[in-house]
Structure 1
């Protein structure tokens, strides 16, 4: 993205910078969300200006010195360009989910520039995009979760600081169903052992309290008492989970830990942190939790999102049918 952004005409590049400020300062979006928006918008603007993805910046600089720099075509941005850009993405094999996200980014950008009076109308308002396929992540069975926790606890029994950390974060991920970014952002003070609750800062900087059980409490106490002190450095701050070098643990490390731990469970599919989140939600529903309670625990803005993340197992449907249908027996 940086190379394409540098190749844009000066006025357009400055506009991208202003849009970045808008997303970060006015809309208060997370760094990852801002990065995704900018990547899509830069791709669109590069397409508008016929800048190839593998652009040679030295060639662009030489052309600028000869007075043949890339012409500013921003005023030509219309719905036809938007559709052609998405068509190019489709030809390159982008998924429906990616196309839908990029269309949404483009609409956000064109709405912003039109409000500033930089375009006579908002071309994004006329843009439609395919609905993304909503695929569910893999789910562990309850017995597979039990095997996962037993194996994880067995490794932690040796007292290795990283093994204690890994067991604690796996327990907490499943116990609470928090997102991986929420887990990595936790501080020690966010954990209330007396009530067995953890304060989570979710999407949109919305705060919620999520309960956890006794197994997670035990693993957290072991990590904080016997593991974390061996990894803490001046860079650790108040982070609940630390990396091997003492800094706050990063999502890549958490993904690696979970995938590695699940791979040791016989018969289990390849499940990552999001799979543990989905497993927790599914098992709560199977246990009788209502959908709105699960929605609050997961931090979803709408119930529709929770319905996509959770599903009712065939066994539960059969049990309900047997118990309630007058002709089931």
Structure 2
């Protein structure tokens, strides 16, 4: 039995459901305040963290660290289970270290284990138990990563294949730009590439976020994954040399199609059903205004890449547009700082630098010209 009694039950009396409200206090929060606290964390992150916490509770139950069959079917019951876990064991450092080792034994991906550590640490803080030490769990994870690398058992992460300019043209060429779906998907692909947008950013665009000027179109991205305070950024997209890959003209064509269906406001990219209806809401799925989801954006990219005959072994996804923007603009000599700010990467982003390294691996190879 792992034991580390908590010093005071009061500190864990208000474990919020699914780490959505990082507040432990004797005051009762209003429904509006709790809703804002809940929405401060992206919905996708909340879902992932909820799953991680449920799996932790299940493991604890199997190890007799919690009563057998603890109910976690909803947020309230999961919160109660987490509260009981904290009351029984207090600081969860030792427990988490054992849990990470168990995940490693089960062959879970290191990234999955990293997220579980983050979810449990967040719940620990939210429950009023203070900052959770994670040095032990991370040392276990480090050993696990080394073991996988040494034995070759680790599965290499498939990075999203970058959509190059040539690939973008090939994708645009297979779309039927006389059909509503073809007009939308062309605009989505070209605009996504030109913005270096995350799929969530592309899905989140409204018609009102576009401002056309003599030079091109300005796009306001109101919030994004790394913009926690939703300060937003404005991207300026000039006219392209080719109409099929011009962000201005392809978006104008889509806006004209939307206007023909009496849509001049609301989401920019919407669902289209098989009958040509815009924004129809499938049963219990999607938002009422018909906005495309980030997942739908990824499906458009993958589907069109397949239709264009692009390398089937490559991982084509929504992130392919963003990665392609980074590599293609850098390849033509754009300054990395300008690329970062245009695409919404933080200055010095390790992710962006990784994309740049992919280009420099050959373009600035130190062996080039040595006479081998």
Normalised by the length of structure 1, the TM-score is: 0.75
Structure 1: runs of 5+ lacking an equivalent: 1-10, 61-68
String of CA shifts for 1:54-77, please: whole Å, max 9, x gaps.
Answer: x9789x9xxxxxxxx999443215
| 2:160 pairs with 1:168 | no
Q: 2:346 aligns with which of 274, 293, 301?
A: 301
Partner of 2:33: none
Q: 1:222 aligns with which of 240, 243, 253?
A: 253
String of CA shifts for 1:180-237, please: whole Å, max 9, x gaps.
Answer: 00001001111122152211121222411123242111111111102454385xxx96
Where do residues 135-284 of structure 1 align in structure 2 (5 Å cutoff)?
Answer: 136-152=159-175, 155-156=176-177, 158=178, 160-194=179-213, 195-200=216-221, 201-203=223-225, 204=228, 205-214=230-239, 215-227=246-258, 229-230=260-261, 232=263, 238-244=266-272, 245-246=278-279, 247-268=290-311, 269-284=314-329
Partner of 1:38: 50
Structure 2: runs of 5+ lacking an equivalent: 1-10, 24-35, 74-80, 146-155, 240-245, 273-277, 280-289
Q: Report how far residue 301 of structure 1 moved.
A: 2.5
| 2:103 pairs with 1:89 | yes
Q: Report how far residue 279 of structure 1 moved.
A: 1.0
Q: Report how far residue 296 of structure 1 moved.
A: 1.1
Instruction: From the two aligned structures, give the one with the greater helix fraction.
Output: 1
String of CA shifts for 1:280-299, please: whole Å, max 9, x gaps.
Answer: 11000101012211111221
String of CA shifts for 1:122-160, please: whole Å, max 9, x gaps.
Answer: 3446542546887632124432222222333xx11x2x2
Q: Report how far residue 278 of structure 1 moved.
A: 0.5
Distance 1:14 1:111 in 2: 11
SS of equivalent residue, structure 2 residue 138: coil
Q: Report how far residue 316 of structure 1 moved.
A: 2.0
- Superposed CA RMSD: 3.6
SS of equivalent residue, structure 2 residue 22: helix
Q: Is the 8 A contact 1:176 1:297 kept in 2?
A: yes
Distance 2:307 2:105 in 1: 39
| 2:364 pairs with 1:317 | yes
SS of equivalent residue, structure 1 residue 209: strand
Q: Is the 8 A contact 1:258 1:273 kept in 2?
A: yes
**Residue correspondences, number:** 293
Q: Is the 8 A contact 1:231 1:242 kept in 2?
A: no
Q: Report how far residue 302 of structure 1 moved.
A: 4.3
Q: Is the 8 A contact 1:111 1:124 kept in 2?
A: no
Partner of 1:76: 89
